Amino acid sequence: LAEKLQNTFKKLKRKGKISEKDLKEALREVKLALLEADVNYKVVKDFIANIKERSLGKEVMESLTPGQQVIKIVKEEMTELMGGTESKIEFTSKPPTILMLVGLQGAGKTTTAGKLGGVLSKQGKNPLLVACDIYRPAAIEQLQVVGDSLGIPVFTMKTHKSPIDIAKAGVEYAKQNHKDLVIIDTAGRLHIDEDLMDELKNIKNSVFPTEILLVVDAMTGQDAVTVSESFNKQLGIDGIILTKLDGDTRGGAALSVRAVTGKPIKYVGMGEKLTDLEVFHPDRMASRILGMGDVLSLIEKAQENFDEKKAIELEKKLRSQQFTFEDFLEQLQQVKNMGPLSDVLGMLPGINSKKLKGIELDDRQLIQSEAIINSMTKEERRDPSLINASRRKRIALGSGTKVQDVNKLIKSFEQTKKMMKQLSSIEKGNKKGRFKF
Ligand code: GDP
Ligand code: MG
C-alpha cells in the first residue's frame, strides 16, 4: 500500500499547480490502492469523498504546493479514519477494573492477555489473569506459562466449572487479594456462532466487565472487520486490539475497523514476544502506511533502552540535522541493546521491512561499522564532507576493512541524515517541497 501511494504522490508532487483533473486522477489511484489493500469499500468511498472536498478548496488549489497540501490532507484524513488520537483503557474508580478479552480462535487473546498484564503492571497496576477457555486443550496451561514468565498470577479452576463460574470466582478472588485489574481470557471459535456469543454474553452479564476488548488478527484483512462488526453488534465491545500487525503488509484492517465499528483500536500486537504490545497511535500508523516510517515509535523504543537524556539529545540532533558520525557511532552501540535489528530498522522511513526479512543483520556488521568510525579522526567524524578518497583509503586500512565498506557506511550515514531531514520538514508542515515521498 505504502509503495502504491508513494508513486501516486510522487506524480502529484512534481506538478506545480494541479488541475481538478490531476486531482481526480490521483485520487482514483489512491482509491484503487486502498481497495487493493483490502480496505472496506464504503470506508474508501467516504474517505476519498472527504479528501476530494477538502482538496478542491481554494486554499489548496491556489497554494504554491497543492500536491503537498493534498498529501497532508490524505494523512490527516487517514489519521482521523483511525480514530484521530490514541484511545486509552478506562479504569474504574472502584477497583478492580475488569477487562474481558474476546475474539476468534487464534486471534491472540491468550498472548494479549499476558502482554496487557505486563504493560499495565509496569504502569503500577496489580493484575490477575483469569483463565476462562476451558475447551481448548492446554489453553489454561498456556495462560499459566504466560503469567509465570511475567510474574503475574493466573486464576484457574480445573474441576469442570463453567467459564461463567470461573470468571465470577476470579473477580471475587481479585477483590479479596487486592488485585486492582482482572484480565479475563475467554475461549474462541473458528467462526462466530451462537454458542460462543451466548457464553460471552453470560460472562458479561455476570461480572460486568469495565471494558470488553475484541482481539482481532490484522492479517485477516476485511475478515477482521466483519468479525469486529458482528462482535460489536451481538455482544457490544469497547475497543479493539489488533494483533499480528507485524505481519500485516497491507494495513486494510487497521484502516477500516474503526470506521466500520465506531470502536477505537486501543493496542496493537507487534510480535510474538510478550513485550510486543504498543499503544495504537493513529497518526503514526498513517505515517507508516504513507511510507514515512515510524520514527517516533523508533525513538520511543530507543528510549526504553537508552537512558532518556541521551535519547532526547539524539532526537534533537536528528531534528536539527547536526547529526555527526560520533552520534552515529553512539547510536550503533545503543542499537545493540535494542533487540532484533530488523525490528528497529523496519521503523525507519523508506525502509521496507519486507525487504529486511532476507538480510542477515548481525553483530559483525555493527562491529565493522564501529571499527570504521573509530578509525576516523575527530574532525572527520564531525564533518564527514572532509572524507575524500585518500582519507577513505586510510580509514579502511586503519579499520581492517575495504574502501567499499567505508563507502557503504558513509552512504548509509548520509541516508540516515537525509531521512531525518525529511522528517523534520514534514513536521514543519511540508514547507517548500523539500520532503519527497
Ligand atoms: P487465542 O486463540 O486467541 O488465545 O490466540 P493465542 O494467544 O494462542 O495466539 C495464537 C498465535 O498467534 C500464537 O502463536 C501467538 O504467538 C501468535 N500471536 C499473538 N499475537 C501476535 C502478534 O502480535 N504478532 C505475531 N506475529 N504473532 C502473534
Ligand atoms: Mg487462547
Evaluate: CB of 247 within 6 angstroms of ligand 1. Answer: yes
Most confident by average pLDDT, 284-298, 382-396, 419-433: 382-396
- Measured CA to CA, the distance from residue 63 to residue 431 in angstroms comes to 12
Asked if the model's pLDDT at residue 369 lies above 50, the reply is yes
Q: Give 67 Cα–ligand 1 centroid separation in angstroms.
A: 41
Which among 272, 277, 278 is the best mutation to test ligand 1's pocket, defined by most ligand atoms within 8 Å of the CB?
272
| pLDDT for res 57 | 80
**Residue 351 DSSP SS3:** coil
User: How distant, in Å, are the alpha carbons of 270, 357, 386 from that of 345?
Assistant: 14, 11, 28
Asked if the model's pLDDT at residue 309 lies above 90, the reply is no
Assess contact for 251 and 1: CB atoms under 8 A: yes
Q: With pLDDT > 70 as the criterion, what percentage of the chain qualifies? A: 78
Which among 105, 111, 279 is the best mutation to test ligand 1's pocket, defined by most ligand atoms within 8 Å of the CB?
111
Does 311 or 142 have the greater pLDDT score?
A: 142
Q: With pLDDT > 90 as the criterion, what percentage of the chain qualifies? A: 48
Does 207 or 57 have the greater pLDDT score?
A: 207
Does 298 or 63 have the greater pLDDT score?
A: 63
Q: Give 112 Cα–ligand 1 centroid separation in angstroms.
A: 7
| pLDDT for res 436 | 29
Give the side-chain half-sphere CA count within 13 A for 48. 20
| pLDDT for res 245 | 93
pLDDT digits (tens, 9 = 90+) for 26-79: 888 888 888 888 888 999 999 999 998 988 887 777 776 677 777 788 888 999
Atom from ligand 1 closest to the CA of residue 247:
26
Which residues make Cβ contacts (< 8 Å) with residue 379, sequence separation at least 6?
A: 386
Question: Cα 343 to the chain's mean position, in Å?
Answer: 11
Which residues make Cβ contacts (< 8 Å) with residue 435, sequence separation at least 6?
A: 68, 422, 425, 426
Q: What is the DSSP string of 127-147?
A: EEEEE---SSTTHHHHHHHHH
Most confident by average pLDDT, 6-10, 200-204, 428-432: 200-204
Q: Which bound ligand lies closest to the C-alpha atom of 108? A: 1
Spell out which residues have Cβ within 5 A of ligand 2, the ion: 109-110
Evaluate: CB of 105 within 6 angstroms of ligand 1. Answer: yes
Asked if the model's pLDDT at residue 216 lies above 80, the reply is yes
Does 224 or 437 have the greater pLDDT score?
A: 224
**Residue 93 DSSP SS3:** coil
Name the DSSP letter for residue 159. Answer: S
Span 347-362, average pLDDT = 51
Which residues make Cβ contacts (< 8 Å) with residue 309, sequence separation at least 6?
A: none
Q: Give 116 Cα–ligand 1 centroid separation in angstroms.
A: 13
Parallel, antiparallel, or unpaired for β 265-269 and 277-279? Answer: antiparallel
Evaluate: CB of 108 within 6 angstroms of ligand 1. Answer: yes
User: How distant, in Å, are the alpha carbons of 30, 79, 229 from that of 85?
Assistant: 23, 8, 21
Domains and CATH numbers, the chain: 2-81 (1.20.120.140), 97-289 (3.40.50.300), 295-433 (1.10.260.30)
Name the DSSP letter for residue 263. Answer: -
Cα radius of gyration (the chain): 25
The pLDDT confidence band at residue 271, using thresholds 50, 70 and 90, is very high
Q: What interface predicted TM-score (ipTM) does this complex get?
A: 0.99
| Average confidence score pLDDT of the chain | 83
Q: Which long-range contacts (CB under 8 A, 24 or more apart) does 416-422 make?
A: 416/323, 416/328, 416/348, 417/321, 417/323, 419/293, 419/295, 419/348, 419/349, 419/350, 420/295, 420/318, 420/319, 420/321, 420/323, 421/321, 422/292, 422/349
Evaluate: CB of 115 within 6 angstroms of ligand 1. Answer: no
- Measured CA to CA, the distance from residue 60 to residue 12 in angstroms comes to 13
Span 388-397, average pLDDT = 92
| pLDDT for res 69 | 76
Which residues make Cβ contacts (< 8 Å) with residue 82, sequence separation at least 6?
A: 254, 255, 258, 265, 280, 282, 285, 286
The pLDDT confidence band at residue 344, using thresholds 50, 70 and 90, is low
Q: Which three cell numbers stand for residue 63?
A: 497554494
Asked if the model's pLDDT at residue 204 lies above 60, the reply is yes
- Measured CA to CA, the distance from residue 167 to residue 186 in angstroms comes to 9
Assess contact for 99 and 213: CB atoms under 8 A: yes
The pLDDT confidence band at residue 184, using thresholds 50, 70 and 90, is very high
- Environment class of residue 30 by beta-carbon count within 10 Å: exposed (0-12), middle (13-18) or buried (19+)? buried
Q: Which three cell numbers stand for residue 357?
A: 526479512
| pLDDT for res 367 | 78
Q: Give 133 Cα–ligand 2 centroid separation in angstroms.
A: 7
| pLDDT for res 14 | 66
Annotated binding-site residue numbers = 103-110, 185-189, 243-246
The protein residue with its alpha carbon nearest to ligand 1, atom 6, reads: 108
Atom from ligand 1 closest to the CA of residue 101:
3
Parallel, antiparallel, or unpaired for β 277-279 and 127-131? Answer: unpaired
pLDDT digits (tens, 9 = 90+) for 130-165: 999 998 878 999 999 999 999 999 999 977 789 999
The pLDDT confidence band at residue 430, using thresholds 50, 70 and 90, is very low
0.95 cut: is pTM over it? no
Does 264 or 319 have the greater pLDDT score?
A: 264
Q: Which three cell numbers stand for residue 123?
A: 504502569
- Measured CA to CA, the distance from residue 403 to residue 398 in angstroms comes to 11
Q: Which three cell numbers stand for residue 435?
A: 520532503
- Measured CA to CA, the distance from residue 375 to residue 391 in angstroms comes to 10
| pLDDT for res 434 | 30
Q: Give 307 Cα–ligand 1 centroid separation in angstroms.
A: 31
Burial pattern 328-341, b for ≥16 Cβ within 10 A else e, equals bbbbbebbeebbeb
Asked if the model's pLDDT at residue 351 lies above 60, the reply is no
Asked if the model's pLDDT at residue 297 lies above 90, the reply is no
Evaluate: CB of 186 within 6 angstroms of ligand 1. Answer: no
